[in-house]
Amino acid sequence: MYIPVPQPPTLSGAEAPGTAGQQLELSCTSSGGKPPPQLTWYNGTEVVTERYVRQQQQGDRVEADLILRRLTRGDNGMNLTCRASQPFPEITSAKESWAVIQVNYPPSISVPTTSVRVKEGDPAVLSCLVDSNPSASITWTIQGRPVPDGDNGKGTFRLPSTSRQDAGIYQCTADNGVLPMAVGTVSLDVLCTYNIRIHEH
C-alpha cells in the first residue's frame, strides 16, 4: 500500500540563536507515509553530507538530526532545508521545510583611518567600523579615560572644534555580550596654528 507523506516535515532547533564556536543541532521529523520517506538536508542547493546527519526511524516516524559542530559568523543567515521524498516521485512530490539559522558572534572592529591630523579649531571625525551579532554598544575613551563628550554608543566620534587638549590616543570598545570584546585605536594629532603678523616697513 502506498500513502503519500501528509504534510511537510517538522523542524526544531533553530528557534533560538546559536553562538559562534558552539554546536547547534537541528531536528527534522516526518510522520505518516508508506513507505516512510527519505529525509535529506540541504544547505541552499547543496546536500549536507551524511557524516553530519544522524537518522532514526520508529514506525512511520522518521527523524534526521543535523549537527553543526562549530558555528562561525559566516553561518549566520544560513538557509537549511529538510526534504522528505518517497520512492515514487511520479505519484507524489517531495515535501520540504526550511529554517534560517541565527548565529551570535563577538564584535570585530576595523579602523578606516588609524591616525587623524587636524588643525586646531577644525572639526575631527574618528571612526570604528563594528561587525557583530547582536549589535554592540560602543564606548570611547582617550588615554584610557572616558571621553567627556556625549557621543558614546556610536561607531563615529565627532569633535566639532579641536584644541591641543584633544590630541591623544582614542580607543573604541565594542561589547555585545558575546566574548571577547573588541578594541580599536585611533590617534588624533592637533596641529597648532599661530597668527604671524608681518610688519611692513
Contact criterion met (CB below 8 Å) for 58 and 32: no
pLDDT in tens, 73-104: 999 999 999 999 988 767 678 999 999 999 99
Please state the domain extents for the chain. Answer: 10-101, 106-191
Q: What are phi and psi of 125, to 5 degrees?
A: -125, 120
106-191: same fold as 10-101? yes
Between 69 and 196, name the one with better pLDDT.
Answer: 69
What local confidence, expressed as pLDDT, does residue 12 receive? 97
CA distance 100 to 77: 6
Between 198 and 44, name the one with better pLDDT.
Answer: 44
Domain 106-191 CATH class label? mainly beta
Average pLDDT in the 151-165 region? 85
What local confidence, expressed as pLDDT, does residue 172 receive? 95
Q: What residues pair up with 185 in beta bridges, in sequence order? A: 171
Does domain 10-101 fall into CATH 2.60.40.10? yes
Between 115 and 52, name the one with better pLDDT.
Answer: 115
CA distance 170 to 56: 56
pLDDT in tens, 35-72: 889 999 999 889 988 678 888 999 889 999 999 999 99
Hunting for cell 526544531 — which residue is that?
Answer: 12
pTM (2 d.p.): 0.82
